[in-house]
Structure 1
Amino acid sequence: MSSSSDVKSVLASAPGKVLIAGGYLVLDRAFQGFVIGTSSRFYSAVQEGASARTICVRSPQFEKAVWRYDLIEKEGEVALVPRVSEGENKFVQICLTCCLSVVFSAPTKRAAEVAIQKGLDIQVFGDNDFYSQREQLKSLQLPLTVKSLEQLPHFCPTKSTLGNVHKTGLGSSAALITSLVASVLVYFNVTSTKDLSAHEDRILVHNTAQLVHCLAQGKIGSGFDVSAAVWGSHTYRRFSPNVLEAAMEDPTNTEVVIRTIAPSNSSWDNEVTSFQLPPSHYLMLADIDAGSHTPTLVSKVLAWRKANPQVAENLWQDLSKSNAALADALIELQKLAVDDAMEYEAAIEACRRQPASKWTHLVEADSENASLKSMARVHERSQNSRRLIREMSELAGVPIEPPEQTRLLDACLNVAGVVMCGVPGAGGFDAIYCIVLSNEAMSEVQNLWAAWKELSVGPLLSREDSAGVTIELDSNIPRST
């Protein structure tokens, strides 16, 4: 890749996600989810290539991860033809085909024809937390700790093929697709701004990425992971699936695709309300080396819901109310932190020193502190949502919060300054999250994870990052040799 200053290049990044409330419910538009964006991001870098109408995509972290395509147009439609000797990457090919169909439509067609004559050279790479680093640490004879993870290079080689890598559940495919959509659309001047500062540009990236992600997965999902990749932390209500049906049925029809993803398409009825954790609340994540197959968990829960509609509906309504109450309490805390900063800091300082189970005693001792009351409510409501998740888990016969995870999470909650814990998204044995109030609590939790024997708990470096898809400085693009 040339480093000449006159070479046009675009680097886009998109965050991973943690669904801390709304697992399973987000599949149904009647219910909301509560998703936090992470500091771990996926990057896509687009530059001029070396061969006309040829696209080369590299993923340097993986073995055998180079994909080359020839771009052809036939009867007004765009197609990518993979080189025979190269491997396949369905997500990348569908994403590029969809984006270039938009690029080569009016009014950008003429400029695109000129730009593509130099081809495209694309690199995609993700922060280390998207993939388990256990084998890398083992090969370096380092313990499974935060300090060890901090010693690894950025974009550490996985020593694996893409198909065999152990993912940590942060939403790598959604973050990849979102960053790639953004970088290609900005590179070809399809967006009205170069930094995606226009709201319509972000809607275009969102709608395109949702379509691509559904096409690549072969089904219309809830979309919360793509939504987090675009918008960062927020409360989420899904779009009606019928907005994508025509494009899913005929994805090679450029007219249908463009009509579907257009920011002006009012059929997109998803709801996004921006959100951040309150001040002095810190997200912690861990990878559990046991593994669950999320589609299997989801299909079993949905099958149980279909077979037991009334019981399931009552439980989902209760869980929805509990999750909404949790979100309300967190939003209230944010407001209290602004309205009375001194009182809020006093509440934080008091709660840092006690396990959350004892915070009701703090409220009794200082009943005038509204922030203290609100913090106790956050803990109580998160615990109620966990209780309902365990009830769903038992009724459906699905390990959403397995007993092993329950014991681990309860142990975390015994640490002073831990507000809430849970299994994110669909649950299972993939991961856990904790929200804590201090560096001391963070260290204590990390020590507990390191000493835990029942499960192998691997800390991640990710923290909350409420920013969504971002156009980065070109100077940040890694140069391939």
Structure 2
Amino acid sequence: MIPLESSRINDKPSPCLLDTGGGSYCFYTTIKSKITITTHLEMRLVIKFMKTPWNQIEAIDTLIENLNSTIGATFQPSKLPWPVYLQANPPPPPLQSFRHPLKCGVPNKSSNLMVWFGSGIGKSAEILSDRLRIPFNPSHYHNYHFPPWILRSSSQLTYSLIPAEAHICCPVPSRPPFNPRMTNHTTAISAPGKVFLAGGYLVLDREYTALVFGLSARIHVLVQDIDTTSGVQLSEIIVKSPQFREAAWNYGYHLTKDDGGIEVTQLQGSPCATASRNPFVETALLYTLTYISSVLPTQTIKPTSITILADKDYYSNPSSTPIAKDARHQFLDFGVRLQDAHKTGLGSSAALVTAFTGATLSHYLPPSIFSLRTQEGHSQLHNLAQAAHCAAQGKVGSGFDIATAVYGTSLYRRFSPSILSSLGDPNTPGFSNRLKSTVQNTSPQKWDVQIEKGKITIPKGMALVMCDVDCGSQTVGMVKQVLEWRKRDPVTSKNLWDELQSRNEKLASLLSSGDLSNATEAFSAIREKIREMGTLSNVPIEPAEQTKLLDEVTAHVEGVIGGVVPGAGGYDAIVLLVRDDAETLDALRKFLAGWGKVKLLDVKGEMDGVRVEDGGLYGRLF
């Protein structure tokens, strides 16, 4: 047989099957795999792992399935078309762990063999069977660009199709495959949204407290390893949000010098990636990977695929089509780009950062270092998520939404802003160590946040419900304007906030006592001061449209006690305290149906914060 020159490979279309004469064939694909095939009647398969860089069970099972699919055979797992023998160093897992029956050792030497070396780069593999004259192109390897490897006959009658010195060199991939192969293990974490019942804006100052409720609507984040077989090293993380259009981001990462932590860069050019930035995801990834690299014994961070899912009530007008029909937890297709979606004001960004950070920490770190089943784990997640969320927002915010996402319903007093302002910018000298000390609360300035669970109650038979007004607000800009007003007029603003705090405390007392006879008046008194603050700061905290809606629904729907425009205010939602019975909820829906773009959301207040989920509940979402 005459060796096939590399130039004859390069000018052929891919994929193609080349007849080299003498009953031998070479199959060439975009992954630069070359296969020599000769004609023999019988075959035995020997899978030989020299140094296994991947999961043996998954790799071997996949190899057998892809080979079988290639030759077009159909068989039951108990009846293979040819015997399969396994050799491995170190020793393989128990043979019963595999989906297909295997034998140990080697077959009779007189048999024709196909030997597959699993040690990766630069190794040869041998294949012999006339059954494999059709393309051998396992889906396991699609879109990877591996360094070359040779498949050749083990018979003395044939020779290597392309000598080792003629190997065509391929670069290590600069981005992960379009459809990467995932491992079976899934880390799944969810975090709730939030709603203010009282304390909006006051929570910006440590002199005041806020009553914040967690909600049943959650953001879910799932993390899986990317299986980079054959020793290929990737330094990329794929993030996708399949409920939205054009919502996929590829990030490269590397360790910076001078203890600056991990630098994260959004990569362009991949067909699955979008050009738009997602500052919350990007910042959370940077901060989380930096912390992980500071606490791991080694600083190797494997590539992963991260999926973000949102319960339908976070955004207005989702479709009724689930994105995964086999999932026990249904997630609907929102049908728009992320930047075009109308948020309902439930705290999606904080829930996202919390769930994203918690899932990434849980996936990369062993339970001995981080676990959400411990109080210490909650504290570390809270501190890290606060740092990332404030950085993504331009370091504006009280942190109440992150605290609620981590701990659930609570009475909240904010932390001192200087705790995070002392961190400095990411990737500057010493940032990694400063972040680690902040997360673990070993810095000279300790966390002084106060989160008290159990001090907020809703009377029996009552419920907090949310109404979506289908018009999102940029709360960061509104907060900045209110802070500027406080700076301009500190005396007036302090007097107003002191009075508002007093009215908030009165409402909290009424709720705790269960006596709601004066609750409607208490809500009205709070709203009066909220509108006054909006007028003085020139911020639409309770716009006229919301004022009319709250007044009308309280006056005309039996069972509605009162409500407010929650949080920073604006146009996106209202929260109501109502009787928790079907008659009241039905009457409320009928009232809102005649109001325009307003609807009752399927969310209620709940006590739980961040939660470890079962990864098997999400179906085929990867």
Q: TM-score range by the shorter chain?
A: 0.7 to 0.9
Kept in 1, the 8 Å contact 2:194–2:405? The answer is yes
Q: Matched residues in 1 for 2:360 and 2:572: separation?
A: 32
Provide closer, same or farther for how the CA distance between residues 82 and 290 of structure 1 changes in structure 2, counting only shifts above 3 A. Answer: closer
Q: How does 1:73-84 map to 2 (within 5 A)?
A: 73-75=255-257, 77-84=261-268
Provide closer, same or farther for how the CA distance between residues 200 and 377 of structure 1 changes in structure 2, counting only shifts above 3 A. Answer: farther
Percentage of matched positions with identical amino acids:
36
Deviation at 1:194, TM superposition (A): 7.3
Q: How does 1:380-395 map to 2 (within 5 A)?
A: 380-395=521-536
Q: How does 1:258-407 map to 2 (within 5 A)?
A: 258-265=436-443, 267-274=446-453, 275-333=456-514, 374-407=515-548
Moved more, 276-285 or 433-442: 276-285
Determine which structure has the larger helix proportion and give its number: 1
State the match for 2:188 in structure 1. Answer: 11
Q: Of residues 255, 263, 270 in structure 1, which corresponds to 2:433?
A: 255
What letter is aligned with 1:310? V
State the match for 2:297 in structure 1. Answer: 109
Q: Does 1:459 align with 2:607?
A: no
Kept in 2, the 8 Å contact 1:300–1:396? The answer is yes
State the match for 2:562 in structure 1. Answer: 420
What runs of 5+ residues in structure 1 fail to find an aligned partner?
Answer: 140-152, 334-373
What runs of 5+ residues in structure 2 fail to find an aligned partner?
Answer: 1-178, 229-233, 322-328
Q: Matched residues in 1 for 2:550 and 2:409: separation?
A: 23
Q: Matched residues in 2 for 1:121 and 1:297: separation?
A: 35
Q: How does 1:55-70 map to 2 (within 5 A)?
A: 55-70=237-252
Q: Of residues 259, 270, 280 in structure 2, which corresponds to 1:91?
A: 280
Root-mean-square deviation over aligned CA pairs: 2.4
Deviation at 1:102, TM superposition (A): 1.6
What letter is aligned with 2:562? M
Q: Which has the larger radius of gyration?
A: 2
Output the TM-score relative to the length of structure 1: 0.81
Q: State the Cα deviation string for residues 241-297 of structure 1 (Å, max 9, x = none).
A: 000012243555100111111145562111111134232211211111344432343
Q: Matched residues in 1 for 2:365 and 2:426: separation?
A: 26
State the match for 2:304 in structure 1. Answer: 120
What letter is aligned with 2:570? G
Secondary structure of 1:464's partner? strand
Secondary structure of 2:184's partner? coil
Moved more, 178-187 or 266-275: 266-275
Q: Matched residues in 1 for 2:248 and 2:475: separation?
A: 28
Provide closer, same or farther for how the CA distance between residues 195 and 378 of structure 1 changes in structure 2, counting only shifts above 3 A. Answer: farther
Kept in 1, the 8 Å contact 2:563–2:574? The answer is yes
Provide closer, same or farther for how the CA distance between residues 83 and 304 of structure 1 changes in structure 2, counting only shifts above 3 A. Answer: closer
Q: State the Cα deviation string for residues 42-86 of structure 1 (Å, max 9, x = none).
A: 011011113343211111011111112233224353223332224
Provide closer, same or farther for how the CA distance between residues 390 and 93 of structure 1 changes in structure 2, counting only shifts above 3 A. Answer: closer
State the match for 1:40 in structure 2. Answer: 217
State the match for 2:315 in structure 1. Answer: 131
State the match for 1:436 in structure 2. Answer: 578
State the match for 1:225 in structure 2. Answer: 401
Q: Of residues 367, 375, 398 in structure 2, which corresponds to 1:199?
A: 375
Moved more, 13-22 or 391-400: 391-400
Q: Tell which has more relative contact order, 1 or 2 (C-alpha 8 A, sep 6+).
A: 1
State the match for 2:40 in structure 1. Answer: none
Provide closer, same or farther for how the CA distance between residues 441 and 121 of structure 1 changes in structure 2, counting only shifts above 3 A. Answer: same
Provide closer, same or farther for how the CA distance between residues 100 and 396 of structure 1 changes in structure 2, counting only shifts above 3 A. Answer: closer
Q: Matched residues in 2 for 1:198 and 1:56: separation?
A: 29
Output the TM-score relative to the length of structure 2: 0.63
Q: Matched residues in 1 for 2:427 and 2:388: separation?
A: 9
